[in-house]
Amino acid sequence: MSTRSVPSTGEDPVRPMTREEKKVIFASSLGTVFEWYDFYLYGALATIIGAQFFSQFPKATADIFALLAFAAGFLVRPFGALVFGRLGDLVGRKYTFLVTILIMGLSTFVVGLLPGYNQIGVAAPIILIAARLLQGLALGGEYGGAATYVAEHAPHGRRGFYTSWIQTTATLGLFLSLIVILFSRTIIGEAAFAAWGWRIPFLVSVVLLGISLWIRLQLNESPAFLKMKEEGTHSKAPLKEAFGTWSNAKIALLALFGLTMGQGVVWYTGQFYALFFMQSILKVDGYTANLLIAWSLVLGTGFFVFFGWLSDKIGRKPIIMAGCLIAAVCYFPLFQALTTAANPALEKALDTVKVEVVADPANCGKLFNPVGTRVFTAPCDTARDFLAKNSIRYSTTEAAAGSPVQITINGQAFPAFDPAGAADPKAARADWDKATLAALQAAGYPKAADPGIVKMTNPFDLNGQVLAVIGLLFILVLFVTMVYGPIAAALVELFPTRIRYTSMSLPYHIGNGWFGGLLPATAFAMVAQTGDIYFGLWYPIIFAGICFVIGMLFLSETKDRDIYADD
């Protein structure tokens, strides 16, 4: 199945883009930006959507269901890759990603119009989840089509540069969704936005859909696909050929474990986990956290193109592997520096306030709770869960069998909450939470509204503390651009034309949708289990490290391959 290597002629790399090539890149990239915009809207508004469509449940449960619906979009992405990848290899790249963008745009528009639970009952969350599944399926087919289409139009020696424009789309889509949401909230106010204004960003997508369809309808089919069809060498069964034959399936597995797995965890750590870490652990308000991420994306997005261009010079493999390795080595010091810059009082408390949960190990369970559905009732578990949710670093100390559970704060003991015997357990728990939090704050932990926590009042409120945080986030985004900028070219070059769309889409979406998409929830569950706010970083570090080892040992360089040749 391999594609042969050919020497670079030295002619194509230096000529300017033709008008048609610019049109191909612009149309493919713009449409993919809009698809990512649609996909990210739900994640950014999950809490508000939970109140609208899962209002029959308590707020905490509604939030959990909303996040699970968000995760569903990630989980089905590989299935979309199979469905639309097969279609793309059978009928063509152009028509397949016309279908994917139509499905994505209409699904998003439906969410904007969909009545809530109070209006149509249980049909509302069912339709919402169905729309999310369709979005995930469509996104699973979009990326492979756009990357393949651009690569097959690119001249030899410039595929990294051309496809790197596609790599900016996920970041630009996230950025666009954040900007539209912030603009809508500012114009109509928080109360109106929560009530009905959240629909505006979803409804705007129909305009973006119209623009994308109009542009893409003007494109021609990929020359590589047309050549293959004319010669009669296209695959009659792309799925069987791509994954039912070991010689091809082996390459797909190497693409997953030696490229996209590491790229996925680095990508989600640098953008999503950093955002959630600031909000959930460092207690940075949502408005400020979104602006900080937006600024880091503005500064970093151009490096997708830079590293794509550089990969045409020195190769895809060294840049992607270096990105995985450097990220794995730097995550701990970078996130520690982020804590120091964004919430210095918390950083000081982590070092100076000693908190222990003293309990009989037999009465302590596991706190691993990535989907947030478990309810803890044992005093040991409720105490640790409370500390984790309030960003308190703690350790667990063994006590004698049958001993009551205690929390010690700098040696001073406090009984853990035990609902047994409480006339009103809910009120008693609220009182315990308040008293324990007050004791922790008296010992040195900052309040949620501590004036030392980084805060922005407008997008250009760029004081020294803000700039320090943006600088650290920019470094995290830089790692993202290293692994993501050259990845499309590398994947395209691994597989022959006849099964390229199918073969590259599946490992990409497993690496990003599963390994990457499940990272935030899993990492926070690891934090809760251990009491260490940085412990969740082991998730991306381990997977990026595994990817580095497999990629270095088993993957060859692809930049000089002739993607038109199917041996």
Token pair belonging to 52 = 């609208």
Same domain, 438 and 473: no
Instruction: Provide the greatest CA pair distance for the chain.
Output: 83
In angstroms, the CA 497 to CA 567 distance is 10
Judgement on whether residues 472 and 400 belong to the same structural domain of the protein: no
Q: Mean pLDDT for the chain?
A: 84
pTM, two decimal places: 0.85
Final residue of a structural domain among 443, 464, 496: 443
| Residue 304 scores a pLDDT above 90 | yes
Report how far apart, in Å, the C-alpha atoms of 140 and of each of 68, 86, 99, 457, 561 are.
Answer: 18, 12, 12, 37, 26
Calculated CA dihedral for residues 374, 377, 378, 383, nearest 10 degrees: 80
Among residues 408, 443, 478, which one ends one of the domains? 443
Q: How many helices (H) and strands (E) does the chain have?
A: 26, 4
Do the domain assignments include residue 566?
A: no
Last residue of a domain, one of 443, 466, 493: 443
Instruction: Please return the burial class of 374, using the count of CB atoms within 10 Å of its CB with bins 0-12, 13-18 and 19+.
Output: middle
Q: Is residue 231's pLDDT more than 80?
A: no
Co-location of 243 and 390 in the same domain = no
C-alpha to C-alpha distance for 200 and 186, rounded to whole angstroms: 13
The dihedral built from the CA positions of residue 210, 211, 212 and 218, taken in this order, carries a sign that is positive
Q: Tokens for 418, please give them.
A: 């035990």
8 A C-beta contact, residue 316 and residue 486:
yes
Digit-coded pLDDT (tens) for 462-495: 999 999 999 999 999 999 999 999 998 999 899 8
DSSP string over 522-567: HHHHHHHHHT-TTGGGHHHHHHHHHHHHHHHHHPPP-TTB-TT---
Please indicate, yes or no, if residue 7 is contained in any of the structural domains. no
Q: Do 200 and 295 have their domain in common?
A: yes
Residues 291, 406, single domain; the answer is: no
In a domain, 518, yes or no: yes
Closest CA to 135 of 160, 162, 100: 100
pLDDT in tens, 494-517: 988 788 888 888 898 888 888 887
The answer to whether residue 117 is domain-embedded is yes
* DSSP reduced 3-state for 406: strand
3-state helix, strand, coil in the chain (%, to 5): 70, 5, 25
Residues 166 and 63 in one domain: yes
Secondary structure class of 447 (helix, strand, coil): coil
Instruction: Give backbone dihedrals phi and psi of 412, rounded to 5 degrees, phi first.
Output: -90, 125
| CATH code of residue 424 | 3.40.30
Q: What pLDDT sits at residue 2?
A: 42
Who has greater pLDDT, 16 or 166?
A: 166
Residues 414 and 515 in one domain: no
Write the CA distances from 256 to 259, 526, 542, 563, integer angstroms: 6, 24, 15, 20
- Average pLDDT, stretch 292-318? 93
How many domains does one find in the chain? Answer: 2
Residues 185 and 161 in one domain: yes
Residue with tokens 């992607």: 320
Do 402 and 517 share a domain, yes or no? no
By the 8 A CB rule, do 440 and 355 touch?
yes
Both 435 and 492 in one domain: the answer is no
pLDDT digits (tens, 9 = 90+) for 400-433: 888 899 999 999 998 998 887 778 888 888 999 9
Q: Which domain holds residue 388?
A: 350-443
Residues 80 and 225 in one domain: yes
pLDDT band at 172; cut points 50, 70, 90: confident
Angle, alpha carbons 385-391-395 (nearest 5°):
65
Note whether residue 67 is domain-resident. yes
Compute the distance between CA of residue 46 and CA of residue 325 in angstroms, rounded to an integer: 33
Amino acid at 333: P
User: How far apart are the C-alpha atoms of 529 and 408, rounded to whole Å?
Assistant: 18
**560 within domain boundaries:** no
The answer to the question of residue 246 being in a domain is: yes
Domain-embedded: residue 31: yes
pLDDT over 60 (residue 350): yes
* Least confident window among 169-183, 227-241, 271-285, 303-317: 227-241
Distance, CA of 547 to CA of 541 (rounded, Å): 10
Whether 488 and 428 share a structural domain: no
pLDDT tens figures, 119-135: 888 888 888 888 888 88
What is the Cα 288 distance to its own chain's centre? Answer: 19
**CATH value at residue 248:** 1.20.1250.20
pLDDT at 96: 83
β-pairing, 395-398 vs 412-415, is unpaired
Judged against a pLDDT cut of 50, whether residue 5 lies above it is answered with no
Q: What are the distances in angstroms from CA 385 to CA 350, 444, 524? A: 17, 20, 11
